[in-house]
Amino acid sequence: MITCIPPKKQPVPLRKRYGPKKQHFMIISMTGFGRSELKSPLGLIRVELKTVNHKYFEMSSRLPGHLNEFEDTIRKVISQEVRRGKINVFISCPDPSSFSSRLSLNEALAKEVFQKIKRLEKVLNLKGGGKNPGVGDGVILKEVLHYPDVLTKDVSYEGRNLFSRELEKAVALAVKNLKTSRIQEGKALEKDIKNRILEMRKSLKLIEKRLPVLAREYKKSLAAKMKEFVKNGNLDQERLTLEVALYVKNSDISEEVTRLKSHMDAMLKTFSESGELGRKIDFIAQEMTRESNTMGAKSSDVAVAGCVIAIKSAIEKIREQAQNVE
């Protein structure tokens, strides 16, 4: 008899059992500062990054002349972590060519400079006689050699690659410190926005408590006006209908209260999402402003009006903070 042994069951991965691990996102401020110092074989590299709020990503760099060719590399390293904001870049480091012992002669430039000097001698008649002795060849050679870029130190391919790698490390370290700074600032922004939403909820609770009172007061007022709606013992149905319609249109703000609560829940949910949260928060705040304006226009009650003013003030503070969120 042949006995079949069932295959051993493989353990189900945790991710399949419990689903993918929930990723936590957070608000990141567009305001921050990051600095780094890197000691490399080519000298000390210092990098400073400062960011402020801006609608898009914009980089402004103050680089020494020998770093111009690395500007695209620097931009690429920064843009991998910074999506929005105006960033100012300051870098100081020795010129890698100063460590090179190889000289490179720009022969074409040297010839052109020599010809221009000779031409200038002829134009100024510097070889006209004893009174204007000509410039000696040694002096001409000295002038040619002192001209910029005629003699330059040549950096080897390996040396240039080494410097590029070290520069990238220094910039990446500064970006890391910048991100830490922006996250800390983002936590403060998130806390402030949540506090503003809490203030709005308190004001809405006061409004909701006031709504039944307003309904009762209006009912009494309407009952007192009933005498005006009665003409010759008959009820002026048209005027009564118009009065009720005006109340429903101009005084009932329960729908706006409900929508405002929904917007607040949506904003809190945004804090756990990814992407450019600043634009999302600002859009929701705009919708909040619309609802609060409608509430203020409908209600003539002093207590409700005071709560609406407090809500609008909190929304305005949220919109100001949203301008600093990435």
27-53: per-residue pLDDT in tens? Answer: 889 999 999 999 887 788 999 999 998
User: For residue 18, what pLDDT band results from cuts at 50, 70 and 90?
Assistant: very low
Q: Does the structural domain 32-97+157-181 have CATH classification 3.30.230.10?
A: yes
Percent of the chain with pLDDT over 70: 73
207-222 mean pLDDT: 80
pTM: 0.64
251-264 mean pLDDT: 88
| Residue 293: Cβ within 10 Å count | 14
Q: Is residue 73 within 8 Å of residue 168, measured between CB atoms?
A: yes
CA separation for the pair 110, 94 (Å, rounded)? 27
Assigned token pair, 91: 């870098």
Where along the chain do its domains lie? Answer: 32-97+157-181, 103-153, 189-322
Closest residue by Cα to residue 198 from 321, 308, 314, 325: 314
Res. 281: pLDDT tops 90: yes
Q: What is the pLDDT of residue 105?
A: 67
Q: Is residue 312 within 8 Å of residue 204, measured between CB atoms?
A: no
CA separation for the pair 214, 220 (Å, rounded)? 10
Is pLDDT larger for residue 62 or for residue 160?
Answer: 62
Residue environment code for 253-262, b if the CB has 16+ CB neighbours within 10 A, otherwise e: beebbebbee
203-215 mean pLDDT: 87
Closest residue by Cα to residue 49 from 178, 167, 168, 166: 178
User: For residue 134, what pLDDT band results from cuts at 50, 70 and 90?
Assistant: very low
Which range (102-116, 294-308, 309-323) has the least confidence? Answer: 102-116
146-182: per-residue pLDDT in tens? Answer: 777 666 655 555 557 778 889 999 999 999 999 999 9
